[in-house]
Amino acid sequence: MFASNLNKSTMPVFYEKVALIDYLSSIKTTNSTIGFVPTMGALHEGHQSLMRQSTKENDSTVVSIFVNPTQFNNPEDLAKYPRNLEQDVIKISSVNTNIIIYAPSVDDIYEGKTLTQSFNFDGLEKKMEGKFRPGHFDGVGTIVKRLFEIVNPTNAYFGEKDFQQLQIVKKMTEKSNLKVNIIGCPIFRESNGLAMSSRNERLTLQEREEAAIIYKTLETAKTKFNSESTSEVTAWVQQEFEKNDSFTLEYFEIADEATLSTCLTKNKNQKYRAFIAVFVNNIRLIDTISLN
Ligand code: PAF
């Protein structure tokens, strides 16, 4: 249904894909464009920047809010994922009151069969997040493809914090012959450098302050990468986290930006990125930085 039963908001929220599809076809004209920002809610300034870019570049913008169960390999992470639709709608309306919101139920998306499609992402799925979160990218591919089929966007916006996800979505779109432009957008950071993430809401104030170590380490790694080898930089990062009792390093990797293959020897013509995943009190945070 097209509904707006959230207390303080007059914004339209669609809970069912049938109503959303009907509405989108009613506003579509021959050359009109739809921008799409898929999210799992718990919105922050990073999401709002994607929405801002989409509203600038398209005639209409759709934001989806859906905590997708098939991309969580850890049930506790799924259960504890922050959810607050009312707050999210207020944040969306502060960007633009014409944004169309799609907040489906698990049933509206999966129609009683919460199954994951298996994808071949040409090996992109085997590295880093894929290695440590088995099945995660099949879940992401499944939901993003389904949402693209429902919304049929011209342009879709993804944050570069999840850089591997961005590459995976580009690959899925290309392999599935979907006509959607995938647009990567810069990372938004807190004043101490911590990359904005919905999971930051679960950190205590002290953890949030101390999490500055993640980006600080990435920045120093970037400087070191000018003069040191990948293994020297990696060893230094590992030592930094061994000295720290509150943060546990899951991985640090320097990889080629396009293939995500580990950089063994540096090649001047290739673009590299550092990727990091860290646990603080069972909360998993990731970040990335371009190195050259
Ligand atoms: O990045 C996210 O929030 C999610 O992985 C996405 C793209 C909305 C798919 O559920």
What integer pLDDT is reported at residue 57 of this predicted model?
Answer: 98
Residue 144 Cβ inside 6 Å of ligand 1? The answer reads yes
Q: Could you list the beta-strand ranges (E) of the chain.
A: 2-3, 13-14, 34-39, 60-65, 100-102, 155-159, 181-185, 247-256, 272-280, 283-290
| Ligand 1 atom closest to 40 (CA) | 3
Query: Residue 66 CA: which ligand 1 atom is closest?
Result: 10
- Give the pLDDT confidence of 92-121 residue by residue, as tens digits: 999 999 999 999 999 999 999 999 999 999
40 close to ligand 1 (CB < 6 Angstrom): yes
In the numeric block, the tokens 């080898």 are attached to: 229
Nearest CA to ligand 1 atom 3: 39
- Phi, then psi, of 229 in degrees rounded to 5: -80, 165
Report d(CA 145, CA 122) in Å as an integer: 17
Kindly report the number of other CB atoms within 10 A of residue 178's CB atom.
17
User: 254: which 2 tokens?
Assistant: 């320097």
Is 64 in contact with 102 (CB distance < 8 Å)?
yes
Give the Cα separation of 276 and 222 in Å (integer): 13
- Distance between CA atoms of 81 and 283, rounded to whole angstroms? 10
Q: Is the beta carbon of 38 within 6 A of some atom in ligand 1?
A: yes
- Mutation probe of ligand 1 site: the residue of 66, 78, 125, 143 with most atoms within 8 A of C-beta: 143
**Structural domains in the chain?**
13-185 (3.40.50.620), 198-290 (3.30.1300.10)
pLDDT at position 12 is 84
pLDDT at 4: 52
Residue among 83, 140, 188 whose CB has most ligand 1 atoms within 8 A, to mutate: 140
What is the position in ligand 1's atom list of the atom closest to the CA of 38? Answer: 8
Q: Which residues are catalytic?
A: 47
| Residue ranges of the chain whose pLDDT lies below 70 | 1-10
* CA distance linking residue 15 with residue 6, whole number of Å: 12
Which residue, 150, 152, 97, 141, is CA-closest to 118?
141
pLDDT digits (tens, 9 = 90+) for 34-43: 999 999 999 9
Burial state string for 204-225 with b = 16 or more CB within 10 A and e = fewer than 16: eeebbebbebbbebbeebbebb
Rounded to the nearest whole angstrom, what is the distance from the C-alpha of residue 140 to the centroid of ligand 1?
A: 7
